[in-house]
Amino acid sequence: MALPAPTLTADTARWFRRQARTVAPRVRLVCFPHAGGAASLYRDWSDGLPSGIEVLAARLPARQDRFREPPVEHMDELADRIAEALRPLLDLPYAFFGHSLGADVAYEVARRLEREHAGSPERIFVSGAPAPHISEPVDVDSYDDPALVAEIQRLGAPHTELLDDPELAALLLPSLRADYRLSARYRPTLAELDPVRAPITALVGDADPLVPVEDALQWSRLTTGGFNHRVYPGDHFYLERHRKALLRLVQAVLLPA
């Protein structure tokens, strides 16, 4: 008889949203959003994946239903807290998907779990992100609010029309700035980064203004478990346009026929 999915503890439920309840998942896909993004980025992913894959989306402080919590502006603190909250969900095989800043978060959480002998992801999908040792930080403090809004809209982020409303922008921009500061402070050298055992798949748009394909390929230096990549037509948020193809790839990797 199939066992029901475990009930999330209070702390785990605070950090992860189960996008759709799956009675008998075979693998969990834990998804991390881009800078300023939220769990809602992955709200429809369960519809495009078979029931054997349970989608969990990271719920980060300072946005949506954690709006009143202060943001986390240091990668070590964020990855430590996520890794701890994730522990009750390690009873099944799991994989990570992270877009942009979320790719760095996924990698750092995987490093911690492996270092603490708490298992390793079946796969880490790093999307729209250069390898962390070669990424160039954005000096977010040099942007006033209109310039920051213009930059985010230039990148094609979903739902950026909300930022045209001054009241909504005042609510949304603080978490975005905090995420950019976190990214700017996360400046590891290659020597400081431990290759993970988990295989890595790098995904990138061919017209991404932030991530040349060759920068995405540098993730190959951060794994001993195997590396491949896929290039899609599109910009930094190619995954919105190519969601069906992307989810077919995720399914083929996590639940091969």
Under 8 Å between Cβ of 3 and 24: yes
β pairing state of 53-58 and 16-18: antiparallel
Residue type, 227: F
Annotated catalytic residue within 40, 46, 100, 142: 100
CA distances from 50 to 13, 18, 25, 54, 250 (A): 22, 15, 9, 8, 11
Host H or E run for residue 127? strand 124-127
Helices 145-154 and 166-185 pack at an angle, to 10 degrees, of: 80
The Cα 217–Cα 200 span in angstroms is 10
Of 251, 257, 255, 256, which is closest to residue 45 (Cα–Cα)? 251
The Cα 247–Cα 41 span in angstroms is 14
Does residue 185 sit in helix, strand or coil? Answer: helix
Of 188, 184, 100, 187, which is closest to residue 141 (Cα–Cα)? 184
The Cα 101–Cα 98 span in angstroms is 7
Q: Is 175 a catalytic residue?
A: no
- The catalytic residue positions are 100
